[in-house]
Structure 1
Amino acid sequence: MTVLLQEPDNARARPTSLLKKDPDYNRIFNTSIPIEMYYKCTKIALLATEFLKKMRKPSLHPKDINNIRFHLVMYASATIANKLAPTPNDILKIEISKLDTTFLRKCLVPVFETYASLGGDDQAAKGPEFVQLLKEKLRSVIDQ
């Protein structure tokens, strides 16, 4: 939901929404998408979550980690794929080794700044404005 559909707000606020209607479910889970893409998405999410947990001790509160992790995953995956809306094939081409601490730290800065500017709470993380603002920031870093 976060990497392929670029909908971190729904992943945070409404994670079961994909299971309720067949058309929504089929946007992600269908035979035209290579199964390896799901592994890449999971790996990206795990790396971002591990990174945020390491950042917890010096500066991030657990509630903030929970609120921004899906947005960090979206921002990092779009940045590394160099696409505002990566396709399954774009995601497959992502080199996981490039999602290192230095790269994730660079991605965290605009994500956290945007989150904080919107109030830095659950409401900010679950709302569409956070995603819209991040996509505006992505436009300036992605070579379209």
Structure 2
Amino acid sequence: MTDYERSRTMPALPEPVLDEAAGPGRLDAWMPRDLHVRAEGPPAAAVRGDGGGDGGGTDGGGTDGPALLRMEWGTRDDGRHPGWLRVAGLDGGTSRVTVHLSCPGGDSAPPPETVERQLDEGLARLEEQVRLRVDSGG
């Protein structure tokens, strides 16, 4: 497996960002379609916690750090594209979204620059969806 991770700042607090990313049927709206990532029932597992940390959800560090929200996905049968998305609150009502995706290695693996570009494009789609949600008051 090869791991990829990309981040982007979003124009909203963490909760609406995670709601937009993890809502029913929304994973397909922003994740790279060519990577065949799909949520399986239940749709994406969202784990909410407080504190900073390394993406492990609640890190036991108390509630002094920024809000940290996380969702995970993967295929149950073969685990080909497991991954997670983490949203951390920033100053000024913005958030930092980090998406992590594991892809199979070998001859069938897409080139790393393709996966990174697709993740960047997916985060840009998510940012646009969040921006539309915020602008419409939702």
TM-score, normalised by the number of residues in structure 1? 0.28
Q: Which is strand-richer, 1 or 2?
A: 2
* Structure with more of its chain in helix, by fraction: 1
- TM-score, length of structure 2 as denominator length: 0.29
